[in-house]
Amino acid sequence: MVDDINIAKKHEDRKLNSSAPALQIPPEITPAKPYEVELDLKKIVTADLESLITKDGKNEVYMAAWYNGKESNIFDLTQFKNSNAMLSAFWFDLISNNRGATLYFHNWAGYDSILSLLPL
Question: pLDDT tens digits, residue range 13-66?
Answer: 544 455 555 656 566 666 667 767 776 777 899 999 988 888 888 888 889 999
- Same domain membership, residue 84 and residue 49: yes
- Same domain membership, residue 94 and residue 45: yes
- As to burial, measured by CB atoms within 10 angstroms (0-12 exposed, 13-18 middle, 19+ buried), residue 86 is buried
Query: Which residues lie below 8 Å from residue 47, measured CB to CB, with a gap of 6+?
Result: 64, 65, 66, 67, 94, 103, 104, 105, 106
Q: Residue 36 domain-assigned?
A: no
- Same domain membership, residue 46 and residue 82: yes
Mean pLDDT score of the chain: 78
Identify any residues that bridge with 79 across adjacent strands, giving them in sequence order. none
Identify any residues that bridge with 75 across adjacent strands, giving them in sequence order. 64
Comparison of pLDDT for 6 and 91, the residue scoring more: 91
Query: Which residues lie below 8 Å from residue 105, measured CB to CB, with a gap of 6+?
Result: 46, 47, 48, 49, 112, 113
Q: Which spans in 11-108 are helix H? A: 83-97
pLDDT at 78: 92
Please say whether the beta carbons of 15 and 1 come within 8 A.
no
Produce one character per residue of 100-118: b if its CB has 16 or more CB atoms within 10 Å, e if not: ebeeeeeeeeeebeebbee
Would you place residue 114 in the very low, low, confident or very high pLDDT band (cuts 50, 70, 90)? confident
pLDDT at 113: 72
Would you place residue 89 in the very low, low, confident or very high pLDDT band (cuts 50, 70, 90)? very high
Give the DSSP H or E segment for 31. none
- Same domain membership, residue 45 and residue 26: no
- Same domain membership, residue 46 and residue 25: no
- Same domain membership, residue 100 and residue 52: yes
Q: Residue 98 domain-assigned?
A: yes
- Same domain membership, residue 23 and residue 46: no
Q: How many structural domains is the chain composed of?
A: 2
Domain that holds residue 75: 41-116
